[in-house]
Amino acid sequence: MTNRTWQGRVFIGVSLDGYIARPDGGIDWLTDPPALGRDHQEVASTEPAIEWETFYPEVGHLVMGRGTYEKVLTFDDWPYRDKQVIVLSTTLADTDDRVRVARSLTEALDRLEAGRASQVYVDGGRVVQAFLAAGLVDEITIGTAPVLIGAGRPLFGNMDHDVHLELRASHVSASGMVHTTYRVVPTPPVASTSVGASGDA
């Protein structure tokens, strides 16, 4: 895409085995971490990864999938009062005036443009995958929880090209979460044709 005026940013928690939710959508392993009080070692770069308190005020728009939206509806309060929220869904009835429903990625992008978006919080596994595949993610901050949940909804999926990342910063929190911020390298490097597959080293 050319002339994009906004930055797509991901801020998400994942289990060590790569899931953002259990098969039934549960995120208890993330919100009620059993790992507080264990002897986690503190390792960090000189700069901490981007933290929620910095990230959240910077974003004006959210784009989330129906799966994430339906989870948010189970919370006591609507957490995004001061944000423009776009929900991607082909099935959801457009009846909640706190959000705008977009039926396709193209429609979501049109809404971001019309809303003069600058910093866009991209949320939900399938939506993150769609934005990544379309080259619309510039930054990824991941909190990796010290737990294996065995099955669930993956953060990343199949890709038809490699996405290269630059590690910008990391830190560990008291609950043993490893937080890392990456910049997405915009253009995939052109594959080298000079090395053959003959196995000669």
Q: Report if residue 104 touches ligand NAP, rule: CB under 6 A.
A: yes
* 100 binding ligand NAP? (CB under 6 A): no
Order of all β-strands in the sheet with 99-102: 99-102, 84-88, 61-65, 119-123, 7-15, 139-145, 178-184, 165-172
- Give the residue with the Cβ less far from ligand NAP, 13 or 33: 13
Give the interface segment with ligand NAP, choosing from 44-52, 53-61, 85-93, 164-172 (CB under 6 A).
85-93
How far apart are alpha carbons 172 and 165 in whole angstroms? 20
- The Cα–Cα gap between 54 and 149 comes to 29
Rounded to the nearest whole angstrom, what is the least distance from the CB of residue 200 to ligand NAP in the complex? 43
Q: Nearest approach, Cβ of 108 to ligand NAP (angstroms)?
A: 8
Of the candidate residues 86, 88, 172, 178, the single one contacting ligand NAP (CB under 6 A): 88
Reduced to 3 states (helix: H, G, I; strand: E, B; else coil), residue 180 is strand
122 near ligand NAP (CB under 6 A): no
CB 124 within 8 A of CB 68: yes
**Residue ranges in 127-186 that form contacts with ligand NAP under rule CB under 6 A:** 127, 130, 153
Quote the radius of gyration of the chain (alpha carbons, Å): 18
Strands 178-184 and 165-172: antiparallel
CA dist., res. 121 & res. 139, Å (int): 10
Site mask for ligand NAP (CB under 6 A), range 7-26, x = bound? -----xx------xx---x-
Least gap, CB of 91 to ligand NAP (angstroms): 3
Single residue of 84, 89, 141, 181 touching ligand NAP by CB under 6 A: 89
Using CA atoms, how far apart are residues 103 and 25, in angstroms rounded to an integer? 22
| Binds ligand NAP (CB under 6 A): choice among 65, 137, 177, 184 | 65
- By CB under 6 A, name the one of 66, 83, 100, 183 that touches ligand NAP: 66
Distance of alpha carbon 141 from alpha carbon 181, whole angstroms: 4
Which residue ranges make up the site for ligand NAP (CB under 6 A)?
Answer: 12-13, 20-21, 25, 27, 30, 64-68, 71, 88-92, 104-105, 123-127, 130, 153
